[in-house]
Structure formats: structure tokens, C-alpha cells
Amino acid sequence: MKNLLKKHYKTVLFIMMWIVLIYLFVYLDVLLRARSAYYEAEKYMDWYYNPEKKLNSLEKEAQIEKSKLDKLFAKNKISEEEYKIKLELIEFNKQRKLEESSLKYAYIWYKTVVDLFSPPESKWVKLARQKIPVVKQMWKEELIKKGFKIEDYMLE
């Protein structure tokens, strides 16, 4: 056994190094995904407190889609009828997103951080875990104000 270890020492060391490196990459990937999802939740919370930011962001998004559509129409890659239909679709999607609850999406993104990106128990997971009950209660109150009868299990 000793001779075998001495003979393959470099190979074993190389394999162990790769295993550690892969685990490090996986850890960093999960950490960065948790951070990204947390910031997405924070964006929706910001939209809840500042609805004009939500409107501006969605209008900018719609404008970008419209400009792409205008380019296609100018190059005669789509017909006028298809152009009009797609313009209506862009406006419909913008209105639908405006009507959606920002709290709902914030809650979903915070839950995503906790459910999909832990372990490890990163800073982002801890912050999201703290905010989930508060946002869930705010969302529940929002739904009750709109006239819905809500139980906690319905929000999961």
C-alpha cells in the first residue's frame, strides 16, 4: 500500500486538488445566485415603496421591445398586421406587469433565496430568511384589502 501511495502520490494530490476546486466553484456559484435572487427581491420591494420606479422600468422595457419591433418592421421582416398585433401584446404585457403585486414577487424571490440557495447559510440567505415573514404578512394584508379571503397555506 505504501509503495502504491508513493508511486501515485502526484495523481492522488492532483485529484484531491480538483475536487476541492470543484467544491469551491459550486460554493461560489450558489453564493452568487443567492445574492442575485436577493437583489431581485429587493428590486420588487423598492417597486412596492416607489411605484413610479416600477412604472418607469416597465415603460423602458416596453420601449426597448418596441424599438426592436420597429427595426424588424422597417426591414420588412414582419407585416404591418403582425407589427400591430405585437405592439398590442407589448402594451398588454406592460399593463399586466403593472397590475401584478410587487410584494408577491418580492416574497417569491426571498423564498427562492432560502429554498434553492441554502446551504450554505450565506449573508443573503440570512437576510432573506428575516424578511420572508414580514413580506408575507404585507402581501396577505394587501390581498385582504383587495377583498380576497386568504389563509397562510394559500401564499406558499
Whole-number pLDDT of residue 1: 59
- Domain layout of the chain by residue ranges: 2-155
Query: Each residue of 78-133: pLDDT tens digit?
Result: 898 999 999 999 999 999 999 999 999 999 999 999 999 988 899 999 999 999 99
- Within the chain, how many helices (H) and strands (E) appear? 6, 0
**The pTM is what?**
0.80
Q: What would the mean pLDDT of 71-75 be, rounded to a whole number?
A: 90
Please answer whether residues 106 and 142 qualify as being in contact, where contact means their C-beta atoms are separated by less than 8 angstroms. Answer: no
